[in-house]
Amino acid sequence: MLDIMDMKKLLILLAVIYIVFSSSASASVEQWKAEAAELYETIPTIKSKVRYRAFWMAYVSYKRHAKKDALLVIDYDASSLSSRAIAIDMSDLTIYKESIVSHGKNSGGLYAKKFSNNVSSYQTSLGPFVTRGYRKDEVADPSWLKYPNAIVMVGKAPKLNGNAEKRAIIAHQAWYVKQMGNRLGRSQGCPAFPEGPEGKAILEFIKDGGVIFAYSDQLKESDII
């Protein structure tokens, strides 16, 4: 059993470790932000497709969480009828694909304005997600699944998207991802892509360790760092 002096020494050691770790993490973030700024200014294709704040936040999240060279940035402040999902091949920093993408039906109409991490909110969640494989490969009986090529998404920001798996938030294709009146068809909170080869290509590109970054100006820097 530790005596008082040993306990004090242990607490001091833990405090030092925390300070060193925090400083190191902060230094890494600043380095990644600097890298993002330089890349953004030197790669016109990215600059023309992705807003700077969305890019640097997505880049930092990619550096922190990615397990493959794939990044999908979704700018939910853009119109749902626009190609607001930008897939970036991080091995050579080229735009792989662009696509329309649905937001949650309770997030808004033409524009997504409300976001939530709550179960049954039917709203989109913001922040970084890391993908796994096909959902059908992770369930005992895949026959009941609506979307056979859906990709599992794991939220990496607990307050923003930590309930992603509990909410069954997945990246998938759906028939309703098309113009309906003055807006795009909406999901129950998932990023849903059009049926056909384009939507399928994005899912194949991002699955198994890619990062999906769901952006809005409502995000704070402290939300992801």
Q: In the chain, where are the structural domains located?
A: 66-224
Q: How far, in Å, CA of 222 to CA of 15, rounded?
A: 22
Strands 127-134 and 179-180: unpaired
Residues 6+ apart with CB under 8 A from 134: 148, 149, 150, 151, 152, 207
Q: Tell me, what's the pLDDT at 17?
A: 40
8-state DSSP, 125: P
Using the predicted structure, report yes or no on whether residue 116 has a pLDDT greater than 80: yes
DSSP H or E segment with residue 30: helix 4-42
pLDDT digits (tens, 9 = 90+) for 64-88: 999 999 999 999 999 999 999 999 9
Helix, strand, coil abundance in the chain, percent, nearest 5: 35, 25, 40
pLDDT-above-90 percentage for the chain: 79
Helix axes 52-65, 4-42, angle to 10 degrees: 130
Instruction: Average the pLDDT over each of 140-149, 167-176, 178-187 and give the range with the smallest value.
Output: 140-149
Q: Which fold has domain 66-224?
A: L,D-transpeptidase catalytic domain-like (2.40.440)
Residues 6+ apart with CB under 8 A from 68: 208, 209, 210
Confidence of residue 9 (pLDDT cuts 50, 70, 90): low
Residues in the chain: 225
Q: How far, in Å, CA of 153 to CA of 132, rounded?
A: 6
pTM above 0.85, yes or no: yes
Using the predicted structure, report yes or no on whether residue 133 has a pLDDT greater than 50: yes
